[in-house]
Structures are given as C-alpha cells and as structure tokens.
Amino acid sequence: MSALPRADELGLIGCHVCGQVCRAADEGDDVLACPRCGSTLHRRKPAVYTRTWALLIAAFLMYIPANLLPIMRTASLGDIDDNTILSGVVELWVKGSPGLAVIVFCASIMVPMLKFLALSTLLISCHRGSNWARRQRAKLYRLVELIGYWSMLDVFVVALLTALVRFGYFSLVEPLPGVVFFGLTVVLTMFASMCFDPRLIWDGKEDSDD
C-alpha cells in the first residue's frame, strides 16, 4: 500500500468543498483557508467523535417516540384509527400493494436502523484505529450518505394525505406527534453522517491491510 501516498503524509490538504489541493502549513493548520473557494481547510474534520456521537444519540432518542407514537390519525364517520410507521406498512401490505409496502419498509425502518448501526460501527472501529474491512467500511459510509435522505418518505406521505383527505365528518387525516419526531430523526442522522470523516477509516497502522 506504500505506492498510494496520502495527502496527510505529504503535507497536503484536499479542500472538501472544491477539491483544490492545498499545502498544509506547519503550524496551526486549523485556521487555513482554501485559496480557491475560501472554505476552512481541515486535515480531518474537527471533533468528529464528539459531534457524530452527540448527533447520533440525539437522533436515536428521537427515533424511539417516532416509532412508538402514532404518526397519522384517520377519522371517518366518527371511527378513529391511529397509525404508527409499522402499522402503516402492514396496512399497505395487506390492502394495497405489497411491493410499495416493501419500499416504505426499507425507507422508514431499514434505512434509519442501517444508519444507526453503520455510523456506530464506523465510529467505534475508527476510534480503535482498526484496519478491519477498510474498503467495505468506506463503501458502507458512502451507502449511508447516498440513501440517508430517502427516510423522509413517510413524512411526505403523512403531509400529503393530510392535505388531501379533508372531507370533514366523512373522512379526515391528521398528523400526530410521531411524524415530527421521525422528521427530526432523519435530519439529525443526516447531520451525523455529515460530521463523520471517512478519512479516519484509513488512518492508523496499515501493516496487515488487505
């Protein structure tokens, strides 16, 4: 692996905004700005572990009420039915189309869980300087970044149904607090994955790599 030099070893920094290759100053390189786009340059993003853990834990705390509390109330002819995320998926599976139920299940339940598991795995393994499955972990991070925002799906479904189903006494849909918590979970996990620095995966000793 010595054929692949790293910017850090060569005294270079790649700007994460515009990609410009910059020379790292020897002293106090934390206040360096990119000569091309003006963004602050960081060898590694600052306080990665503190920030990412904090946001991830906050997101998880939001995720509990998001799943336990109902996200949507359907009232028709005095008959009230509260739906949670999971019961919405089940209803779609039983009555509507199973294919769409699978998509909603992936976006609303699998993706957030994957984000929690993936980011904690990355944080713990990087903190230990582990060289286990580096390429796969790098891929996992890119996957999390790519699919993360699709979890907003259920939030938009509730919002659109609320706007559409307005038939007064005959039929009415209302949002319930669960959907607010779910929206916050998605936003917080997105911030958490942005705070993580994938370059940390490759830091530390490389002896027995691959």
Interface with another protein in residues 24-83 (CB under 8 A)? 35-39, 76
Q: What ranges make up the beta strands (E) of 63-198?
A: 72-76, 79-83, 172-175
| Binders of another protein in range 179-198 (CB under 8 A) | 179-180, 183-184, 187, 190, 194, 198
Which residue in the set 86, 90, 109, 159 belongs to the binding site for another protein (CB under 8 A)? 159
| Residue nearer to another protein on the CB measure, 116 or 141 | 141
Instruction: State the nearest-atom distance from the C-beta of 180 to another protein, in Å.
Output: 5
| Residue nearer to another protein on the CB measure, 38 or 129 | 38
| Cα(150)–Cα(143) distance, integer angstroms | 12
Instruction: State the nearest-atom distance from the C-beta of 202 to another protein, in Å.
Output: 4
> Is there a contact between 45 and 53 (Cβ–Cβ < 8 Å)?
no
Instruction: State the nearest-atom distance from the C-beta of 122 to another protein, in Å.
Output: 12
| Residue nearer to another protein on the CB measure, 68 or 164 | 164
30 φ, ψ to 5°?
-85, -15
Distances 82 to 23, 76, 109, 130, 186 between C-alpha atoms, Å: 58, 12, 18, 46, 22
| Residue nearer to another protein on the CB measure, 55 or 201 | 201
Q: Does 12 bind another protein (CB under 8 A)?
A: yes
| Cα(206)–Cα(134) distance, integer angstroms | 10
> In the stretch 107-126, what mask flags binding to another protein with x, by CB under 8 A?
x-------------------
Which residue in the set 29, 60, 175, 204 belongs to the binding site for another protein (CB under 8 A)? 175
76 φ, ψ to 5°?
-135, 125
Nearest to 167 by CA among 68, 77, 38: 77
Instruction: State the nearest-atom distance from the C-beta of 22 to another protein, in Å.
Output: 7
Q: Which residues neighbour 62 within 8 Å (Cβ) at sequence distance 6 or greater?
A: 181, 182, 184, 185, 188
